[in-house]
Amino acid sequence: MKSTITEAAAAIAASVVVLIVLSVAPVRAVAQSGNSIATSFQNSGQNSGQNSGSRPKENQRRSSTTLDRALVEAAESGDVSALDKLLGIGADVNCALSGDGSPLIVAARRGRLAAVRALLDRGADPNMPVTGDGNPLIMAAREGHEDVTALLLDRGANIDQVVPGDENALIQASGQGQLQVVKLLISRGADVNVRVWVDRGSQRLAGEWRTPLSMARKGGHQAVIAVLLAAGARE
């Protein structure tokens, strides 16, 4: 009898959490099916690693929860009200979801300035990388969000931080032809001659060194090339 009562209580608690999430999450989270929500509760994927010089990796993080997934959805849509509610009931501001990144990475990638500011105010780490999703500054720079890039730098983002597989902010901005962001990063002291080795995963072509200038040339971004050369980028 005691076991039956305990199981019933656990089921009720889980149902309450789901109802809370559905009441505050943005439209995409509300649209999740019951099966999808149940699966979210069982998710146990983790990202782990150690900081090492200019090639940081994630610290071990707890498993994501339905609240964390809803928080990422709210960050993507820029819904600051939903962010506050979700954080208030236990969502992890520094959660990391494979394929999405952290809430701050998602908000930065989408250029959600108000959401980025709100997350930073609530303790989001501006330098936390997620494998395959870079870090907040890299994503903001790559997508050309000058205002978000500036805010992240003002709030402690490491301008030259390298994330394996995503290089760094200036290399990504240069490769995408984001002229204004390139100018901003250079004005804030970014290293125009940073070099990052990228493994292509091929036996024939083991990899390549990437720099802001090499990536700007590869993309044919003449204005960016001119700015980098004027700032001292070497051939």
178 has pLDDT over 80 = yes
The architecture CATH gives domain 168-235: Alpha Horseshoe (1.25)
How confident is the model over 58-80, as a mean pLDDT? 80
Encode pLDDT of 118-172 as tens digits. Answer: 999 999 999 999 989 999 999 999 999 999 999 999 999 999 999 999 999 999 9
Whether 17-166 and 168-235 share one fold: the answer is yes
How confident is the model over 29-41, as a mean pLDDT? 32
CATH code linked to domain 17-166? 1.25.40.20
pLDDT on residue 203: 54
Would you place residue 65 in the very low, low, confident or very high pLDDT band (cuts 50, 70, 90)?
A: confident
- For residues 34 and 40, give the distance between their C-alpha atoms in angstroms, rounded to a whole number: 10
- Across 75-104, b (16+ Cβ under 10 Å) vs e yields bbbbbbebbebbbeeebbbbbbbeebbbbb
Percent of the chain with pLDDT over 70: 71
pLDDT on residue 170: 98
pLDDT on residue 204: 56
Query: Global pTM?
Result: 0.74
Domains of the chain by residue range: 17-166, 168-235
- For residues 227 and 6, give the distance between their C-alpha atoms in angstroms, rounded to a whole number: 66
